[in-house]
Amino acid sequence: MTASYSDLRVLDLSTRLSGAFAARLFGDLGADVVMLENPQGHPLRLQPPFLTDKPGPNRGVLHAYVNW
């Protein structure tokens, strides 16, 4: 049996990997996920490891994984 959460809207207010990953799982199951970040951005954007050798915003591998 396959669960579909297409009628569900999830508000992601997380600041840690566990919350971001849970939001991704809801999205994978069909929910509409809305991520709300503070003005500095989600902490995972700046957390190593980085997509390139150079640190900076939007280069965090974990952020890229949970928000593709």
How far is 39 from 65, CA to CA, in rounded Å? Answer: 21
Task: Quote the pLDDT of residue 56.
Answer: 77
Range of the domain at 26: 9-66
* Residue 22 covered by a domain: yes
The answer to whether position 1 is within a domain reads no
Whether 17 is in a domain gets the answer yes
CA distances from 15 to 6, 53, 58, 60 (A): 24, 24, 15, 14
pLDDT at 1 (0 to 100): 52
Using pLDDT thresholds of 50, 70 and 90, give the confidence band for residue 13: very high
Share of the chain above pLDDT 90, in %: 49
How many separate domains does the chain show?
1
Question: What's the chain look like in SS3?
Answer: CCCCCCCCEEEECCCCHHHHHHHHHHHHCCCEEEECCCCCCCHHHHCCCECCCCCCCCCEHHHHHHCC
Q: In terms of pTM, does the model score above 0.85?
A: no
pLDDT tens for 14-36 read 999 999 999 999 999 999 999 99
